[in-house]
Amino acid sequence: MPQSSPRLTGAPDSPVQPAAPNHNPVPVNDHHSRLNTTQVRRVEHPVSLQALIDVVRRADAHGEPLCIAGGRHAMGGQQFAADAVLVDMTAMDRVLAFDRDKGQIEVDAGICWPQLLAWLARAQQGTWPQWGIRQKQTGADRLSIGGTLSANAHGRGLTMKPFIDDVESFTLLGADGQFRTCSRSRNSELFALAIGGYGLFGIITTVTLRLMRREKMQRLVSVIDVAELIPAVEDRVAAGCLYGDFQFAIDPMSDDFLRNGVFSCYQPIQDNAVMPQGQKELHAEDWLHLLYLAHVDKSRAFESYSRYYLSTHGQRYWSDSHQLSEYLDDYHQQLDARLGPSGCGTEMISELYVPRHRLVSFMEDVRGSLRRANANVVYGTIRFIEQDKESFLPWARAPYACIIFNLHTAHTHAALEKTAVDFRGLIDRAIQHGGSYYLTYHRWASRSQVQSCYPEFTRFLERKIQYDPGERFQSEWYRHYRNHADGATMKGTVSNSSSGNWRRQLSNTVFWILLFRGFLVIGLGAGLLVNPTKTEALLLNFMGVFWLISGVTLFFRADMALGKRMSLTMGLIGTLTGLIVVGRNIIGTWLTNVLLFELLGAVILLTGVAHILHEIKSRVRTPRRQSSYHFLLGVFECTMGAMLLMSALERGPHIYWPATIWALVGGALILSQALYLRAQRHIQ
């Protein structure tokens, strides 16, 4: 059960005053692909926790969905929702605490990476040793810490895990207006859900990051073939290198296409090494020229890039600031003026993952498919990641090679359809090689691709409803995918208000059904205690009604916790069992009590096995699950079902004990689950 902190001190108990009607929706878009134009109701820029909780309460009072944005670089629509209130967190950008002993820093979630690095540099000026960040996203800097956490991003570390490994804890403002501290030991399921949860479980307000000792490093550069890359990485790691990547050639007409690349690594050097001034670096105009060449002369672009990087071999950098990079906002507007109508558009990114031993064969397959598709590769790199065993929806399911493609696309319907097909083809290739893809960049993956790469996706969406039954926090990404849990196609959007009301009513229905079932079974146990001589009659009558009710509700998926298939299966079994027992006098005299008790024992035993298997499967997917309800109930049901089966053969008093114990303990477990769900889903 989530542990919540007290509501914000000084927060008003009375409803927040209504916002002025907004007749002018605000258009917003992401910075890179420019393919997510969305009309939001208004944009809020809270500067404090008090202002933030007022935004949430106002949205709750008016039934307005909320979406959350930071740097606005996500390309899958995770930070925008049509007709929603956009909460822009970038005004909440303070450093709150710095623990020099532990190497941890607490910040507002809206702070961006350059601000954090600048603060650390000022705070530690003239001291040694110093602390620095472990990793950040590459390619752009003005991304918020909260956004990095929400996407569970990664950098160019050679032996690092995704960003969840860098997070000590964070504070989450839920749809109920409660602040919750989330860590590996407190609200651990929310910790696993919100990191990589794309803002669907609440607003991340503060983050405590784990830092690493700041080090001086030298850059090591070579141009190698992709077939040499994995052994080269192993050698560099053995030599102490911490960071590195491989930028591959992008000209499909060249034999070097996706084979040859610039391999650069960063190796720690002595603390007393002198850090020179005035080293070589690319400026904004240099990057713009390289981007232009990447569109019109790809071989020349790679030659220029590799020549520059080779000239920087041996240059020295800091372990944290070397991760900063130049990003030109709206660079394609300048390119479009030079490229003309045929070159207008933007780049869309996709990131694929394959086991490292499959990297070479994957690149060879993709080399052929991209050529056949006439795809326009503008940029590509390979990085590395270690397995993530903590997040609920992990993309790093194994130690992967990460292959990033920037494909140019025009913004016409036909061009976007082709680009979507190209990206689906890349995902198919990754799956064929035992890999996956990153959910953040686009939502063009097919339903089968999502299911293959993220088998826990449906459960992720169900957890969303459990923690936010009114669907206060939404996005275009979420609206696109949320029908996945109900078996519908993952295209288009659905009404937020009607769906939220239906799901809220369903949550209340689940609670009352569980409550009724619990009291019904406890009533059976009490009846058996009071009148043990009527064991058979009481048991048959009560159990017939119990299984009929349970079966019908499960069949219609009122209990979403077991998942759709198991709910349908157990619902059918329960309904048939209830009908047989309740209608035993109609069916015929051949249906003896012994047969009925054997049937009930078998069904209870089968239900127990189903609960245990469900719990095992859930724990494999989510190692930090908090509730053991299904496992405990399953073990108990297996024991009682077996006892009932054995006792049914003898009848007499032996059936009294398993029936009574099953009723009392089983009823108590069902009631406890009802209360747990009520608290977990915030049903008022």
Task: Report which DSSP code applies to 176.
Answer: T
Tell whether the model's pLDDT for residue 174 goes beyond 60: yes
**Do 192 and 286 belong to one domain?**
no
Domain-embedded: residue 17: yes
CATH code of 89's domain: 3.30.465.10
d(CA 130, CA 334): 40
- If asked whether residues 527 and 657 sit together in one domain, one would say yes
pLDDT at 489 over 50: no
Tell me, yes or no, whether 205 and 220 share the same domain: no
pLDDT digits 0-9 by tens, 15-28: 344 444 455 899 99
Which three-class secondary structure state does DSSP give residue 236?
Answer: helix
**529/401 same-domain check:** no
- The rounded distance, in Å, linking the Cα atoms of 315 and 264 is 11
Please write the tens of the pLDDT for every residue from 368-420: 999 999 999 999 999 999 999 999 999 999 999 999 999 999 999 999 999 99
Q: Are residues 338 and 462 in the same domain?
A: no
3-state secondary structure at position 85:
strand
Q: How far is CA 22 from the centre of its chain?
A: 32
Pick from 61, 114, 115, 108: nearest CA to 88: 108
Instruction: Check residue 301 and give its pLDDT.
Output: 98
Query: Does residue 192 sit within a domain?
Result: yes
Return d(Cα 612, Cα 637) in angstroms, integer.
10
CA–CA distance, 345 with 80 (Å, rounded to integer)? 21
Q: Are residues 449 and 504 in the same domain?
A: no
Average pLDDT over residues 41-54: 95
Residue type, 493: T
Query: What stretch of H or E contains 458?
Result: helix 457-467
Q: How far is CA 395 from CA 389, 390, 404, 435, in A?
A: 10, 11, 14, 10
* pLDDT of amino acid 537: 65
Alpha-carbon distance 157 to 663, whole Å? 56
Residue 407 pairs with which residues in a beta bridge? 348, 377
* Residue 630 falls inside a structural domain: yes
pLDDT at 636: 76
Q: What is the pLDDT of residue 629?
A: 61
Which of 105, 193, 98 has the alpha carbon at shortest distance from 149?
A: 193
In a domain, 608, yes or no: yes
Sheet with strand 436-437: strands edge to edge: 316-318, 216-225, 260-268, 243-248, 377-385, 400-409, 346-355, 436-437
CA distance 147 to 153: 9
Binned at pLDDT 50, 70 and 90, residue 655 comes out as low
For 283, list phi and psi in degrees, rounded to 5: -100, 175
Find the domain containing 207 and state its range. Answer: 1-214+456-494
Residues 366 and 421 in one domain: yes
Rg (Cα) of the chain, in Å, rounded? 29
pLDDT attached to residue 557: 45
Per-residue pLDDT for 432 more than 70? yes
**Least confident window among 335-344, 352-361, 543-552:** 543-552
According to the per-residue pLDDT averaged within each range, which of 272-281, 365-374, 638-647 is highest?
Answer: 365-374
Query: Regarding beta strands 212-213 and 131-132, do their DSSP bridges make them parallel or antiparallel, or are they unpaired?
Result: antiparallel
pLDDT score of 501:
47
- For residue 649, the model assigns a pLDDT of 58
Q: In total, how many domains does the chain have?
A: 3
Whether residue 343 sits in one domain with residue 253: yes
Same domain, 197 and 223: no
Which of 494, 511, 542 delimits the end of a domain?
494
pLDDT tier, 519 (very low <50, low <70, confident <90, very high otherwise): confident
Instruction: Choose the final residue of a domain: 401, 426, 455.
Output: 455
Mean of per-residue pLDDT scores for the chain: 84
| CB-CB contact of 482 with 629 (8 Å) | no
339 or 3: which leads in pLDDT: 339
Helices (H), 124-276: 145-151, 188-194, 229-238
The pairing of strands 216-225 and 260-268 is: antiparallel
Residue with tokens 């030991």: 185
CA dihedral 393, 396, 397, 403 (to 10 degrees): 130
**Cα 322-324-330 angle, rounded to 5 deg:** 150
Q: Per-residue b/e over 553-584, b at no fewer than 16 CB within 10 Å? A: bbbebbbbbbbeebbebbbebbbebbbbbbeb
Q: What is the pLDDT of residue 494?
A: 34
At residue 552, does pLDDT exceed 80? no
Nearest to 648 by CA among 607, 592, 609, 606: 592
Residue 226 lies in a domain: yes
Query: In the chain, pLDDT over 70 holds for what percent of residues?
Result: 79
Instruction: Please tell me the least confidently modeled range out of 122-126, 259-263, 532-536.
Output: 532-536
Least confident interval from 22-26, 550-554, 596-600: 550-554
**Is the pLDDT at 460 greater than 70, yes or no?**
yes
In a domain, 322, yes or no: yes
Q: Quick check: is 319 in a domain?
A: yes
- 37 with 179, same domain: the answer is yes
Four-CA torsion 614, 619, 621, 626, nearest 10 degrees: 110
User: Are 449 and 462 in a shared domain?
Assistant: no
Cis upstream peptide for 129 (omega within 30°): yes
Paired strand residues for 42: 85
Q: Which residues contact 579 (CB under 8 A, 6 or more apart)?
A: 548
Task: Give residue 365's pLDDT band: very low, low, confident or very high (50, 70, 90).
Answer: very high
Same domain, 348 and 221: yes
> Domain of 327: which CATH number?
3.30.70.2520
Looking only at the bridges linking them, the beta strands covering 42-44 and 85-88 are parallel
Q: What is the pLDDT of residue 452?
A: 94
Whether residue 277 lies inside any domain: the answer is no
- Report yes or no: 319 and 268 within 8 Å, Cβ to Cβ: yes
Identify the pLDDT of residue 664.
78
The rounded distance, in Å, linking the Cα atoms of 400 and 353 is 6
78-82, 181-185, 653-657 — which is least confidently predicted? Answer: 653-657
CA dist., res. 618 & res. 630, Å (int): 10
| CB-based contacts of 168, cutoff 8 Å, min separation 6 | 104, 183, 208, 209, 210
Q: What is the mean pLDDT of residues 621-626?
A: 44
